[in-house]
């Protein structure tokens, strides 16, 4: 990731704690243990690469990494309470950013969508709460800015951007069935460009032969 210019990763699971973990750089060893034996934690330094750790959510007797990995039989009201509980765990302790990780399909449940939007409306009534991207979190940590000056903090300004043609999504992507020597199987890839020779993966990031 460092070699290819990635700014951050957000895949390392943090052991559950009442006090959440702030994002950190991989200049040094992660400040927590590796939770899962199947999880590959860094074994050496990657200077300049940020990690936005996955702080686990508290959901009753359970903990979950993503909203859609929480128990599936929860009501919309229960989802709202879970969101508010975990917001307060962050807001009333060290104020580490609260990552809300989920798949878009989770919103197919109308009660979950309503609970989430109600949660957003309620917490945004607080004058010091913002919904920002992972990159915007990192930019603020690089240059901490007071609330009195946050409106002029350039990384958080919502300016209209002109996209290049290659950055725009196409109406009908090409479906590519591609081999992978690494995965030893065929995988499908949808792209607005020509199909690569092989499925892009580790040790063959560009899908070359």
- The neighbouring-strand residues paired with 188 are 177
Coil, helix or strand at residue 62? strand
**pLDDT per position as a tens digit, 178-196:** 999 889 999 999 999 999 9
pLDDT at position 177, please? 97
Mean pLDDT of 48-77: 94
Percentage of the chain modeled with pLDDT above 90: 75
pLDDT of residue 133 exceeding 70: yes
pLDDT at position 169, please? 86
Mean pLDDT of 119-135: 97
Q: Residue ranges of the domains in the chain?
A: 2-156, 164-208
pLDDT at position 202, please? 83
3-state per-residue secondary structure call for 4-58: CCCCEECCCECCCCCCCCCCEECCCCCCCCCCCCCCCCCCCCCCCCEECCECCEE
pLDDT of residue 119 exceeding 90: yes
Mean pLDDT of 23-31: 92
Rounded to the nearest integer, the mean pLDDT of the chain is 92
Other beta carbons within 10 Å of 118:
16
pLDDT of residue 40 exceeding 80: no
Mean pLDDT of 15-24: 94
Coil, helix or strand at residue 57? strand
Most confident range (mean pLDDT) of 19-33, 38-52, 113-127 is: 113-127
**pLDDT per position as a tens digit, 148-177:** 999 999 999 988 778 888 888 898 999 999
pLDDT of residue 67 exceeding 90: yes
pLDDT at position 73, please? 93
Do 55 and 21 contact (CB within 8 A), yes or no?
A: yes
pLDDT of residue 37 exceeding 70: no
pLDDT at position 38, please? 67
pLDDT at position 94, please? 97
């Amino acid at each position: 990731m460092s070699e290819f210019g990635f700014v951050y990763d957000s895949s390392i699971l943090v052991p559950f704690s009442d006090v959440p973990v702030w994002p950190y750089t991989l200049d040094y060893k992660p400040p927590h243990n590796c939770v899962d034996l199947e999880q590959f934690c860094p074994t050496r330094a990657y200077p300049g690469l940020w990690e936005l750790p996955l702080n686990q959510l508290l959901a009753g007797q359970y903990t979950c990494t993503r909203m859609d990995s929480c128990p599936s039989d929860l009501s919309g009201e229960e989802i709202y309470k879970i969101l508010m509980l975990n917001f307060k765990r962050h807001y009333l302790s060290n104020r580490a950013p609260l990552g809300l990780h989920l798949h878009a399909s989770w919103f197919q449940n109308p009660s979950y969508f309503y609970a989430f939007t109600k949660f957003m409306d309620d917490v945004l009534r607080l004058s010091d709460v913002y919904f920002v991207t992972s990159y915007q979190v990192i930019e603020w940590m690089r240059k901490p800015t007071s609330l009195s000056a946050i409106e002029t903090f350039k990384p958080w300004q919502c300016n209209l951007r002109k996209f290049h043609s290659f950055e725009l999504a196409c109406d009908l992507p090409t479906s590519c069935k591609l081999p992978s020597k690494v995965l030893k199987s065929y995988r499908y890839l949808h792209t607005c460009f020509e199909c690569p020779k092989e499925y892009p993966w580790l040790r063959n990031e560009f899908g070359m032969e």
